[in-house]
Amino acid sequence: MAARALRGAAISFRADPFRVPAAEALQHWPDALLVIEAGEIASIAPWPGAAPAGLAVEHWPGALLCPGFIDAHVHYPQLPMVAAPGEELLGWLARYTFPAEAAFADPDHAARVARLFLRELLAAGTTSAAVYGTVHAASAEAFFAESARLNTRMIAGKVLMDRNAPPALLDPPGGGIAESAALIRRWHGKGRQLYAITPRFAPTSTPEQLAAAGRLWAEHPGSYMQTHLSESPAELDWVRQLFPEASDYLDVYRRAGLTGRRAIFGHGIHLSEGELCHCHASGSAIAHCPGSNLFLGSGLFRARQARREGREVALGLGSDIGAGTSLCALRNMGDAYKVSRLAGEPITAAQAFWMATRGGAEALALEGRIGSLEPGREADLVVLDLAATPLLGFRMGLCADLLERLFVLMTLGDERCVRATYVAGRKVYDREEESVLF
């Protein structure tokens, strides 16, 4: 692929703003030249820098170049039922989610929704995600096929469930493992695709299925494991009844060999100190899904507590569509602030942007590839328009510094701010153009 260069203001994290002051953690170029070669960032330096001779420069005045956002927890098959109100988690699953997921028995439906989902994701500036399919292997197949077409770096997997769901959505008892293994062989490490073994959550798997998932994960180093953990109080009660031998919710997964680096746990709202310690010690990550916390009323995640010095837990930001209601990382950052405020430990804009970029990459063990603007990283980035609406432009003009602008952006901003999105150096979305890719 031909080299290209982008010019504009840019940000990227070099350290964790939960640990060091924001100004130290955040690197800011008021005007940068970012050179892309072979799909990777070759250099980033203050403009005019040393652009290779003859290279056309795409200039983005008034915009902010940011690493592509990372969604650490999302269900693509729930796009057709997003915004379904009025139930807490378990009732919501039974009433809206399972019927919507049953439709994925049809591979054409899966292909249509995968296409719409990835288009919406890129239009919101998110370039990587950890994605749940349904129990149908074809749902993962359809997702990977579309992601491969777009060359997006995605983690995904077929859901495993062998109890407590409608019969049409169940694997055979203890099953779904051979299908998952076949998907790993077919997709894990193919181009930018990565596989996650995906038991939905403890209540919908027998201990036998969880243990089989753990064995499969151990057999495939480098693959991922994603599931839900400690989301709603009713769910916690149910897990205690179903797994009386476990000392706590996380212990159910630990016993099955499902904790460790590349394990991504959605939610983790009600974790005890002991469970957080085990996440830290094992390298397991939490995907904080603030929009979903609010929409289902599941509780208020404490991000600062999760990042407590000395036993910090890897932490990303998840949209959790369809329990969350927006794929837009800016909106989810805004929600993260509101959740943190209600939880009594407000986060900063730098902490929110970190969770959606560098922190998310660390949570997904991909920090060497994505999540920051550094030479050698894959060139996934979003161009944010800081004057996308008259109010936003007006309010930005009154900000004293970058951190204030970032806070305003995540509070007033939404997908209208996404001017363009690049994946591995290729522009895949442009707000002002009908994209050739969709």
**Contact (Cβ atoms closer than 8 angstroms) between residue 201 and residue 235:** yes
Least Cβ distance, residue 227 to ligand GUN (angstroms): 8
Backbone angles phi, psi at 87, to 5 degrees: -140, 150
Q: Which does 97 bind (CB under 5 to 8 A by kind): ligand GUN, Zn ion, none?
A: ligand GUN
State both tokens at 92: 């919501």
C-beta closer to Zn ion: residue 7 or 331: 331
Nearest to 367 by CA among 376, 375, 358: 358
**Contact (Cβ atoms closer than 8 angstroms) between residue 97 and residue 324:** no
C-beta closer to ligand GUN: residue 94 or 412: 94
C-beta closer to ligand GUN: residue 35 or 82: 82
Distance CA 135, CA 157 (A): 9
Please, what sign has the CA dihedral across residues 301, 305, 307, 313?
A: negative
Q: Which does 200 bind (CB under 5 to 8 A by kind): ligand GUN, Zn ion, none?
A: ligand GUN
Backbone angles phi, psi at 430, to 5 degrees: -140, 120
Least Cβ distance, residue 404 to Zn ion (angstroms): 33
Query: How distant is the alpha carbon of residue 409 from its chain centre?
Result: 19
Least Cβ distance, residue 408 to Zn ion (angstroms): 29
Q: Does 231 interact with ligand GUN (rule: CB under 6 A)?
A: yes
Least Cβ distance, residue 248 to Zn ion (angstroms): 20
Least Cβ distance, residue 402 to Zn ion (angstroms): 33
Least Cβ distance, residue 228 to ligand GUN (angstroms): 4
**C-alpha distances in Å from residue 316, one per residue of 18, 60, 69, 98, 130:** 13, 28, 10, 26, 10
Binding to ligand GUN in span 268-297, by CB under 6 A: 292
List residues near Zn ion by CB under 5 A. Answer: 266, 320
Q: Does 89 interact with ligand GUN (rule: CB under 6 A)?
A: yes
For helices 329-342 and 349-356, angle between their N-to-C axes, nearest 10 degrees: 130
Q: Does 169 interact with ligand GUN (rule: CB under 6 A)?
A: no
For ligand GUN, the binding residue among 115, 136, 188, 200 (CB under 6 A) is 200
Q: Does 11 interact with ligand GUN (rule: CB under 6 A)?
A: no
For ligand GUN, the binding residue among 228, 270, 331, 358 (CB under 6 A) is 228
Q: Does 162 interact with ligand GUN (rule: CB under 6 A)?
A: no
Q: Does 323 interact with ligand GUN (rule: CB under 6 A)?
A: yes
**Contact (Cβ atoms closer than 8 angstroms) between residue 10 and residue 32:** yes
Q: How many CB atoms lie within 10 A of CB 197?
A: 27
Q: Which does 231 bind (CB under 5 to 8 A by kind): Zn ion, ligand GUN, none?
A: ligand GUN
C-beta closer to Zn ion: residue 32 or 264: 264
Least Cβ distance, residue 29 to ligand GUN (angstroms): 37
**C-alpha distances in Å from residue 232, one per residue of 96, 205, 237, 299:** 17, 18, 9, 7
- Candidates 17-25, 89-97, 182-190, 389-397: pick the segment binding ligand GUN (CB under 6 A): 89-97
Nearest to 158 by CA among 225, 253, 252: 225
**Contact (Cβ atoms closer than 8 angstroms) between residue 306 and residue 272:** no
Q: Does 201 interact with ligand GUN (rule: CB under 6 A)?
A: yes
* Total residues in contact with ligand GUN, by rule CB under 6 A: 11
Q: Footprint of ligand GUN on this chain (CB under 6 A)?
A: 75, 89, 93, 97, 200-201, 228, 231, 292, 320, 323
